[in-house]
Structure 1
Amino acid sequence: MKQILFLILISMSMTCFGQDLQNIDSIQVIDSIHSDSSIANDVVIGKAKGDSAYIKEEYATAIQIYENLLKNGEAAELYYNLGNSYYKIGEIAKAVLNYERALLLQPGNNDIRANLEVARAKTIDKVEPIPEIFFVLWTKSLINSMSVDAWAIWGIISFLLLIIALYFFIFSKQIIWKKAGFIVGIIFLIITICTNVFASEQKKHLVNRNEAIVLSPSVTIRSTPSESGTSLFILHEGRKVSIKDNSMKEWKEIRLEDGKVGWVPASAIEVI
């Protein structure tokens, strides 16, 4: 009877994990290039050409090559190199945009984060974010320490270890192994739940894409989605904003880190 219940538990759990993996696979265009071998080879060759142009300080050529490669699929390294190229020619807003896109795919990459901070330092607008309690900041930092794929892998590993712990707890005849299986099982159950929650949060950011970068040299933020709306404040290129209302085509309602809100022409921003 125990064996049957154990097998049922494993079967149900694997079904749930299979659904989760399908959900993750549905966004695998992100942080990957098409799996077709011929395209992959073209990407490798193209990237080498782009890197060569960058080394030769032919930044315009490198930008064109990286932009074309990204049409085949998204990759953090390409966005990172593209951001470096834009930074070198002084287009700070586009550098910030591509660093942000790279960081979205690899949130734990310190090189991307460092270059992003350098580029941000050259922007005009300085916004003080609303303070958050330390626990929220710590949780966000933990979630952003790895990508959705990395959290998913850790989730699978911890789940398999949970199954092993349950096996010892259910079938072992020695009390010490039962206790060890129970304690270890509880630990890996918590880890499994946390990793799946973190992966879900990362996936939400990848799918929703509700943040953008101001690309216009300067743009007036209005109180209503119209040029006749009251002028609230001005933003300059490179400023990161959150899209609060995306229902209109020509206008977007945005929110800054300090809580300010307003409407901006859609043409003035580009989604990360």
Structure 2
Amino acid sequence: MMRKAILSVLLLLGCIIGWAQDEAAVQDWNEATRSYAAHQYRNAAEHYEAIVKKHEASDVVYYNLGNAYYKNGERGKAVLNYKRALKLNASNKQARENISFIHSKTPGAPVVLKDIFFMRWYHAILYKIPANTWAIAALIGFLLVLFVIYRMITGKIRFGYRWLSLSAIVWLLIISFAFTGYRQGKVNTEAVVLSSQAFLYESGDMTKPRMSVPEGTILNLIGQPKEGKVLVRLANGTEGWIDQADVEIV
């Protein structure tokens, strides 16, 4: 009896906490919307950030946050949040176009190529599922291929080669998702330059500046931090070191 009473109290507390969080998110959203309409972009960004930190954010929240930062003159944070919106929803056309617009207005910024439509579908599926889940699916796919081969050998399956071809194609596609997810999550992490005075240093000499890197530049981290700097690769393939404090991971 006591156990049921405790469980009931815990359930009630959980509902109250959940309701309070939802209510707080609505308040932050309303205040952010009001502030944006009143051209108070810094305040709008702060309330969108509150939603991101305290609640589960959607691509719409990140997109609006990017808009608020752009209107406030913070191009780097704008691009960062547009990229986070795309990470949650690769088909967010407005976020992609806004990144291209910002880069077109930024001297020295790399040109962002538009993805082919099927690549947008590919990334939309990829980002919906964690890399570990894709790895498990790849293992299951491999076992499925072995099962089809076994059924072919024992003569217990019709149109065996067709089923084998289909299962092999599905398995290879899943392997592609698993490998890409692992590579992007572990090896080739995307980041955005937030500083207006960032420099790329020679890959062989971290003390020798090579070029300035505009705020809002998208790059890939390809090495572990060392002496306050991290090895990166730009969109044109140029590699070098950049101050770790000047970039933020997407």
Counterparts of 1:173-184 in structure 2, within 5 Å, are 178-179=158-159, 183=162
CA distance in 1, matches of 2:213, 2:50: 30
SS of 1:71 mapped into structure 2: helix
- For residues 83 and 248 of structure 2, what CA distance do their matches in structure 1 show? 11
Contact 2:41 2:71 in 1 (8 A): yes
2:193 corresponds, among 194, 201, 214, to 214
Aligned partner of 1:69 in structure 2 is: 51
In structure 2, what is the Cα distance between the partners aligned to 1:264 and 1:62?
A: 30
CA distance in 2 between counterparts of 1:219 and 1:269 reads 9
Runs of 4+ in 1 over 6 A off after TM superposition: 136-139, 150-153
Provide structure 2 residue ranges, at least 5 long, that are not aligned to the other structure: 1-16
CA, structure 1 residues 128+41, in 2 after alignment: closer, same or farther (shift >3 Å)?
A: closer
3-state SS of 2:102 partner: helix
State the distance in 2 between where 1:253 and 1:45 align: 41
The DSSP-based 3-state class of the residue aligned with 1:245 is coil
Percent identity of equivalent pairs: 23
Aligned residues, how many?
216
The whole-number CA distance in structure 2 between the counterparts of 1:101 and 1:46 is 19
Corresponding residue to 2:127 among 141, 148, 156:
148
Amino acid at match of 1:149: K
Equivalent residue number for residue 99 of structure 1? 82
- 1:37 aligns with 18
Please tell me the residue identity of whatever aligns with 1:262: G
How far off is 1:211 after superposition? 2.0
- Displacement of 1:63 after TM fit? 0.4
Q: Partners of 1:204 and 1:40 in 2: how far apart?
A: 35
Q: Is the 8 A contact 1:83 1:96 kept in 2?
A: yes
Preserved CA contact (<8 Å) 2:187 2:222: no
Q: 1:183 to 1:117 in 2, by over 3 A?
A: same
Tell me the CA shift for residue 249 of structure 1: 5.2
Mapped pair 1:90 → 2:68: no
TM-score normalised by L of structure 1:
0.63
SS of 2:225's partner is coil
Structure 2 residue 94 is the aligned partner of structure 1 residue 111 = yes
Structure 1 position 205, deviation (Å): 2.9
Q: CA RMSD in A?
A: 3.8
TM-score (norm 2): 0.68
Alpha-carbon spacing, 1:233–1:84, altered in 2? closer, same or farther (3 Å): same
Are 2:69 and 1:80 aligned? no
Q: C-alpha separation between the residues in 2 aligned to 1:143 and 1:193? A: 14
- Give the equivalent residue in structure 2 for 1:124: 107
1:195 deviates by 4.2
Deviations 1:114-173 (CA, angstroms, capped at 9, x unpaired): 2221222222224368x9xxxx978855522434326979x98xx9xxx9xx99xx8xxx
1:232 alignment partner, SS class: strand
| Secondary structure of the structure 2 residue equivalent to 1:127 | coil
